[in-house]
Structure 1
């Protein structure tokens, strides 16, 4: 019995693609296909139905996948249980985070992790997609907003508050602004995540939707921040990346009683019996770093 064949088969089913499984495993696609075919010959059954567009499990394939995936999961847990109590945290950790989390918060987290645990290698992927952590082989995710997957282990680390900011120079030359509806008289720097046609702001009592003219729409948070600093208008930014700008006088908060959004931020990872040392180390550092920035 070649357990590599079973492991490759399980990964192909999880990724729903030979080529995607090959990328995850670091193998040529031809090798992945050969190992699955060899497994089928050894068992004397067809496990996967292949077409040009998709893969589907046969009835026997479903049975084999169920048991093989469970068995491989137990083997990984066994290794994690052994390594959890020995040595320094080490190995590659795959992390995903939303693109709009901000460079400052991620750079600070990575710097602190590398200082504390230099033998942990990090593969960080920034994406707007809500990845399936198990299928994509991701160890841990930083997620903002309400969680969708109740099967994941989640640790809440704070609230990401998004509010209105501008430079003092812009406000000195612009019309007075006393309420959200007054934004119609201002240049608004629109971050794509908040919509192309309107902004919705709220305080503890009311919610106001302000139509936008779409004069400038950008899908990169860093660009919005720089434009705001340079007096090009009013932008919606997360408060945690604006603290240094406020202290240095580059930005001021506009309509401080109003905010655009307040998202809970969690660290999430797949449920497992034994948490590997590298994941535990990341969770400790990330929880401390993020809670300090988001709640400070």
Structure 2
């Protein structure tokens, strides 16, 4: 009986999951030419076409989809078994890949990540900035943090709400001198605004109850909170920002919190992870640190979800962090 090359089958599954030979090769950790050759060998061996190829796209065939649905769960189970074997080791090492919005990473995760690295010298951490909810499987992340003012879209990933972020209104002293100090939310009508991408109105809350909605047409509309913060300090408009993120500029006198009796709707931060029974040791170690430092529940239970963050310790950077946390 001919020996089955299961690596070709695994690469076939990865190409199907990635939707292209380029991404499939990255997921399988092989060169693109090797991925193409593996699929071609498998097609020849089976006598069926697994993918329709054009110069612009790769599309799985009906027969290919049928085979993928039967084979892929077995590779998923094997990866879980491998992860379990690694996780029983007391030593946490390897690379932990995390995706996070800039504001969450810079203001809320840094202390926990640095503590994690000090506890586990053999561990590396890669932190990528993204404001969209990533596909953890296709993009190879172990954990992803997602920030939203509503809730998560339907997802096959396991999730926990870990942070409630308070948002308030801020402006520079120069802009306040020019416009006058607002006393009620309606006084902000006509002010230039600096908003998140897609902002059309801002909710105004008093004691947790919505009391007004302010229509906005931001002069600057961006997910990048650092850019909104800098534009606000330059007097370009009033910004809705996390109170934690704007705190240093307020202390330095470059920003003033407007309408201190009011807030805006809170942002909810969730941590996402693949919905699997077995958890890699690095992920388990990070969740343990989050639970210790921030009161974040780990996947096995623990502190209550949604706890407000306390102050994080100020610590020096660690050379084992490969981070894209730049404005």
For residues 3-37 of structure 1, give each alpha carbon's deviation from its aligned partner in whole angstroms, at most 9, with x where no partner exists.
Answer: 21111111100011111212333432221100111
Query: 1:20: which partner in 2?
Result: 23
Query: 1:295: which partner in 2?
Result: 309
Deviation at 1:264, TM superposition (A): 1.9
**Residue number among 152, 157, 160 corresponding to 2:157 in the alignment:** 152
Q: Does 1:122 align with 2:132?
A: no
Relative to structure 1, the CA distance from residue 26 to residue 272 in structure 2 (aligned partners, 3 Å threshold; closer, same or farther) is same
Relative to structure 1, the CA distance from residue 76 to residue 23 in structure 2 (aligned partners, 3 Å threshold; closer, same or farther) is closer
In structure 2, distance between residues paired with 1:110 and 1:129: 21
**Residue number among 274, 278, 283 corresponding to 1:274 in the alignment:** 278
Deviation at 1:112, TM superposition (A): 2.6
Deviation at 1:125, TM superposition (A): 1.8
RMSD: 2.7
Query: 2:289: which partner in 1?
Result: 285
Q: Does 1:165 align with 2:170?
A: yes
For residues 189-209 of structure 1, give each alpha carbon's deviation from its aligned partner in whole angstroms, at most 9, with x where no partner exists.
Answer: x133362x5433333444423
In structure 1, runs of 5+ residues without a counterpart are none
Structure number with higher helix proportion: 1
8 Å CA contact 2:220, 2:228 repeated in 1:
no
| Secondary structure of the structure 2 residue equivalent to 1:89 | coil
TM-score (norm 2): 0.79
Q: Does 1:265 align with 2:269?
A: yes
8 Å CA contact 2:167, 2:240 repeated in 1:
yes
Relative to structure 1, the CA distance from residue 249 to residue 289 in structure 2 (aligned partners, 3 Å threshold; closer, same or farther) is farther
**Residues paired across the two proteins, number:** 294
8 Å CA contact 1:144, 1:160 repeated in 2:
no
TM-score (norm 1): 0.86
Relative to structure 1, the CA distance from residue 184 to residue 22 in structure 2 (aligned partners, 3 Å threshold; closer, same or farther) is same
**Residue number among 180, 201, 212 corresponding to 1:175 in the alignment:** 180
Query: 1:57: which partner in 2?
Result: 60
